[in-house]
Amino acid sequence: MKKFGLSHHWLIFLSFVIAIPAGIFFGEQLKFLEYIGTAFIRLLKMIIVPLVTFSIINALARFEQSEELRRIGWKTLGYFMISSLAAIVVGLLLFNFINPGLNVDLPVGSDSELSLQVNRPSGILEILVNIIPSNPIEALANMNMLSIIFFSILFGIALTRVSPKMKENFLGFSESVYEVMIVITNWVIALIPIGVFGLVIKAINQTDVSFFKSVFWYIITLGTALVIVFFIVQPLFLFLFTRKNPIVHLRQMGDAVITALATSSSLATMPVSMKCVEENAGVPKKITNFIIPLGATINMDASAVFEAVGALFIAQVLGFELGFTQQFIVVFTALLASIGAAGVPSAGIVVIFIVIEAIGIKGSAADFIIGVILAVDRPLDIMRTAINIYGDTIAAVVVWESEKDAEDTTIS
């Protein structure tokens, strides 16, 4: 993954920059390249189901070998949820303030190439009930992501209750599948420069300037939300839970944050964050070894913000008014989607389909906007990864401090 390094970023940027004049001047002649964009979106969708399923099962099955680990496990999960939710709320508020996707004239419908299937569930209770799959295989085949996540969570927890031999048998297989999926994900992501070219041509052929303006405001909205999470929300959490100085912590985690910025991959950064947390923040190995790998897989504060803001943006561009229930669903599914996102470059985009489908949006018009979001995603992905990693290091310190307190009370 590191091999791509900066050169991959530059390739994407170059492809984006060249595609704009190419699309403006030769849009019609290059129309056939739109298929490349479409193929790329299909590749992204192809990896969602196995990636999300095995990421969740493996992460959950890893815990609970002892009473202590179980306690640490629940605390960690609790903290992961709270910090990601707080981050999503920042994105949500900012989105409702800026409204980046208003007044866009996107040609959608029968006389356009962009189609939209709207499938609005009637309410929150119905959505919650529908999360339970009546047939898990059917849910897998239909890419019913919330049901898949639900079943994977049950499966992962149940795996901790079977005999160690049975558990190991399965985990041997499922961890291999996950690793293979990461390899495939990296291949697909390596194709981004080509995919982006096709997607930008398509964007220019099928939209007008109002859409590009809204994309600019989307970048501002998400970028600002990420800055707020990194400079205000995360330090505040660190301070509130541990009374530690956030500036000192940031300095201690410097190497991890810089590695995340350079690789855009939480997984690739994991060894560096483990080292920083253990050596610079003094968190013991048993906690670091548990929380950091788990965090790199399922705790993604910034990706959660991205899933929410991205999905709201898509809905707004397509002219949907999202009421309270719908926004609540976005928050909830963005959290789940961030759990299922892989810690590799741009992987957050793969799971955004989960969020939009939960609010009933599907079709090539939505795919198309996702493609454009992807085209401008690189700088935002770099920010996200650093924030995701930083959130994991804070979680490790928070849990360790609370364990210290627990140990102190047990001793006294």
Interacting residues with ligand ASP (CB under 6 A): 264-266, 300, 303, 306, 341, 343-348, 381, 384-385, 388
Spatial contact of 385 and 261, defined as CB atoms under 8 Å apart: yes
Of 270 and 287, the one with the shorter C-beta distance to ligand ASP is 270
**Residue 153 beta carbon to ligand ASP: minimum distance, rounded to whole angstroms:** 20
As a whole number of angstroms, the distance between CA 205 and CA 202 comes to 5
For ligand ASP, give the closer residue by CB, 326 or 346. 346
CB of 241 to ligand ASP, least distance (A): 22
Residue closer to ligand ASP, measured from CB, 136 or 343: 343
Q: How far apart are CA 300 and CA 388, in angstroms?
A: 5
Nearer to ligand ASP, 337 or 358 (CB): 337
In angstroms, rounded to a whole number, what is the distance separating the alpha carbons of residues 48 and 350?
A: 6
Nearest approach in angstroms of CB 188 to ligand ASP is 13
Identify the DSSP state of 232: I
At closest approach, how far in Å is the CB of 387 from ligand ASP? Answer: 8
Residue 49: CB minimum distance to ligand ASP, A = 18
CA pair distance 144, 294, nearest whole angstrom: 24
CB-wise, 204 or 389, nearer to ligand ASP? 389
Pick the closer one to ligand ASP by CB: 357 or 381.
381
Give the closest residue to 375 by CA, choosing from 219, 208, 159, 142. 219
Tokens 């704009």 appear where?
Answer: 20
CB nearer ligand ASP, residue 15 or residue 346: 346
User: Residue 323 has what DSSP assignment?
Assistant: -
Instruction: Give the number of other CB atoms < 10 A from CB of residue 340.
Output: 28
What residue type is assigned to position 139 of the chain? A
Q: Give least dist CB 257 to ligand ASP, A.
A: 12
What would the two tokens of residue 327 be? 């926004």
Tokens representing residue 390 in the block: 């930083």
Using CB atoms within 10 Å of the CB of residue 115, give its burial: 0 to 12 exposed, 13 to 18 middle, 19+ buried: middle
Q: Please state the closest distance from residue 382 (CB atom) to ligand ASP, in A.
A: 8
Type of residue numbered 46: M
Query: In angstroms, what is the minimal distance from the CB of 339 to ligand ASP?
Result: 12
DSSP string computed for 328-371: HHHHHHHHHHHHHS-SSTTGGGTTHHHHHHHTTEESHHHHHHHH
Q: Looking at beta carbons only, is 344 or 358 nearer to ligand ASP?
A: 344
- Shortest distance, CB of residue 406 to ligand ASP, whole angstroms? 30
Residue nearest to ligand ASP (CB): 348
How many CB atoms are located within 10 Å of the residue 163 CB? 8
Rounded CA gap, 245 and 235, in Å?
Answer: 8
The percent helix, strand, coil of the chain (3-state, each to 5) is: 80, 0, 20
H/E run at residue 118 = strand 117-118
**Smaller CB distance to ligand ASP: residue 8 or 384?**
384
Quick one: 39 or 262, whose CB is closer to ligand ASP?
A: 262
- Gap between the Cα atoms of 237 and 235, Å rounded: 5
Least Å from the CB of residue 351 to ligand ASP: 9
Cα 371 to its chain centre, rounded Å, is 16
DSSP-assigned beta bridge partners for residue 117:
362
